[in-house]
Structure 1
Amino acid sequence: MNGTPRSRGNPAGGRSCPCGLPAPYAECCGRFHAGQAAPTAEALMRSRFAAFAVQDEAYLLRTWHPATRPDGVAFERGMRWTELEIEAVSGGSPFHTDGTVTFRARYAYRGQPGEMHEQSRFSRHAGAWVYVDGTVG
C-alpha cells in the first residue's frame, strides 16, 4: 500500500456491524470510525476488526500506539474478514490504563476459510484506547 490513508465509508450499510454485535454498523463500530472514542479495550478491538472488514486504514492507524504504528496498512486482495469471537478480556475497562483482549478472527482468503487467534495488548495514549501489539498463536 502506498501509505495514503483511505476509507471505503460505510460498506456495511444498514446491516449488522462486522464486529458481530447485533447493531447496525453506524450505531456500533461506525460511530468509532467516525471519531467517537471507544470506551473500552474490547470496544476498540471490535472496532478495529470492523475497520479491517471495511478497509478503513485511517481508523486503524489512528488507533495504533505511535510506538508500534506502521506507516500503512496493506489490505490483502481477496481477503474478507467474516467473524470475530472474543474469548477473554483482562482489564481494559473505562477505569483501567491497560488491557488485553484474546480473540479469534475468521476470514475467507480467495474463497478458502481461515482463522487467526491473537492476544492483543491495549493501553491508553493521550486519553484514548490504542492497540499496542499482539501475540498470534
Structure 2
Amino acid sequence: MKLHDLLKGLDIVSVTGDLNIDIANIAYDSRKVEENTLFICIKGFNSDGHKYIESAIEKGAKAFLVQENINIEGYTFIKVEDTRASMANIADNFYNNPSKELGVIGVTGTNGKTSITTFLS
C-alpha cells in the first residue's frame, strides 16, 4: 500500500521525504520491523519510540510517524501531534477499514452478558 494512502484522515504537522513509497507493514515495536515498514514512534511512560529509529532503519523501515523533528536523509518522516492517536487511523487504513464491513455491538453490565450474547448470536 502506498504511504500516502495510509495517511488519509491524519492531521499532519509536516512531512520530509517521499509519500509515494510502498509500505508492506506497520509497527510500533522496533523488534517487529521488517522490510518496507512504517515505524510508529510512540512516547510511552517508560520508553520513547524515537530512540529506536536507528534500530528500525537497520531492520528495513522506510518511513516513520513521529512527534519530534527528525530528519535522516533517504527516509520519510511524517510529524503529527500525537502518534498514539494517529496509530488507530493508520491501522484502519492499512487493513482497508474493516469496521465499515462489521456490525459492532457492545454489551456491558454486571449480570446477563453471557445470556444476551448467546441470544444475539
TM range (shorter): under 0.3
Name the structure with the higher strand share: 1
* RCO higher in structure (CA 8 A, sep ≥6): 2
Higher-helix-fraction structure: 2
Q: TM (normalized to structure 1)?
A: 0.23
TM-score by length of structure 2 reads 0.25
